[in-house]
């Protein structure tokens, strides 16, 4: 990966409800930050676009912080033309509240039968892969059932070069855990990596990308 430019998204996004509340998910950002370090160690020039996480920025890695899926979409699109690889580890919220309240929602006014309308966020991966040219794109699939089948569908639908699928219903791997177990799936290859530390897994993922993509 020496000299290759690698853009990585990581962490969750936050979708505002009102000035003090938001909707988010359990992503810690650990997988994305760990892959960033592994790519850097192999000589890559790495940039991270991260949602809100409590992780230190790794040495020699440029980091841009964002909150919402819209902000992440904007920042990725601003810089993507400069990169050779896009690795999308972020757990981007699929939906956002249709309306952000300007003032805090007060319980005496709204709490009785409070309900909210949601609209879909843009799919960052899909939008980037439409005109990908020479860019190599790697996505993640967070699944709770039919892991491989669902991941293969995403590989095709999002026009990816590699998808990394994991079972997020198993709390010993995936979200906020220090370990993970995944399938690496391309059009031609399917490889299972048994449960290991996210650090070792990241090295294997970068080696796989360097070898096959």
Interacting residues toward ligand CTP by CB under 6 A: 69, 88, 90, 92, 94, 121, 123-125, 139-142, 154
Q: Which of 25, 77, 82, 159 is catalytic?
A: 25
- The secondary structure of 65-108 as a DSSP string is E--SHHHHHHHHHHHGGG-SEEEE--B--SEEES---SSPPPHH
Active site residue 156: no
Please choose, from the candidates 138, 128, 122, 36, the residue with its C-alpha nearest in 3D space to the C-alpha of residue 76: 128
Supply the minimum distance, in Å, between the C-beta of residue 126 and ligand CTP.
7
Question: Among residues 25 and 105, whose Cβ is nearest to ligand CTP?
Answer: 25
Question: Among residues 60 and 157, whose Cβ is nearest to ligand CTP?
Answer: 157
Supply the minimum distance, in Å, between the C-beta of residue 113 and ligand CTP.
28
Segment holding 148, helix H or strand E:
helix 147-157
Supply the minimum distance, in Å, between the C-beta of residue 92 and ligand CTP.
4
Q: Kindly state the tokens that stand for 152.
A: 């293969």
Question: Among residues 84 and 105, whose Cβ is nearest to ligand CTP?
Answer: 84
Q: How far apart are CA 160 and CA 170, in angstroms?
A: 25
Contacts of 126 (CB under 8 A, 6+ apart): 157, 158, 159
Residue 128: count of CB within 10 angstroms of its CB: 21
Q: How far apart are CA 66 and CA 72, in angstroms?
A: 6
Question: Among residues 26 and 106, whose Cβ is nearest to ligand CTP?
Answer: 26
Question: Among residues 105 and 122, whose Cβ is nearest to ligand CTP?
Answer: 122
On whether the CB atoms of residues 5 and 85 are closer than 8 A, the answer is yes
Contacts of 199 (CB under 8 A, 6+ apart): 34, 37, 38
Supply the minimum distance, in Å, between the C-beta of residue 36 and ligand CTP.
14
Supply the minimum distance, in Å, between the C-beta of residue 144 and ligand CTP.
9
Give the catalytic positions in this structure. Answer: 25
């Amino acid at each position: 990966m020496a000299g290759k430019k690698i853009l990585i998204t990581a962490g969750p996004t936050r979708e505002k409800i009102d000035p003090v509340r938001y909707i988010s998910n359990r992503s810690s950002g650990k997988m994305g930050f760990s892959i960033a370090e592994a790519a850097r160690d192999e000589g890559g020039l790495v940039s991270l676009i991260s949602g809100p996480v409590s992780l230190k920025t790794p040495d020699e890695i440029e980091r841009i912080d964002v909150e919402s899926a819209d902000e992440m979409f904007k920042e990725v699109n601003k810089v993507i033309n400069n990169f050779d690889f896009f690795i999308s580890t972020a757990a981007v919220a699929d939906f956002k509240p249709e309306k952000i309240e300007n003032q805090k929602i007060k319980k005496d006014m709204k709490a009785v039968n409070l309900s909210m309308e949601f609209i879909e966020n843009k799919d960052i991966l899909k939008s980037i892969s439409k005109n990908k040219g020479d860019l190599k794109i790697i996505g993640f699939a967070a699944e709770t059932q039919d892991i491989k089948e669902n991941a293969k569908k995403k590989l095709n639908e999002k026009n990816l070069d590699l998808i990394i699928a994991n079972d997020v219903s198993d709390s010993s791997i995936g979200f906020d855990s220090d370990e993970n177990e995944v399938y690496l799936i391309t059009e031609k290859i399917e490889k299972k990596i048994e449960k290991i530390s996210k650090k070792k897994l990241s090295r294997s993922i970068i080696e796989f990308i360097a070898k096959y993509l």
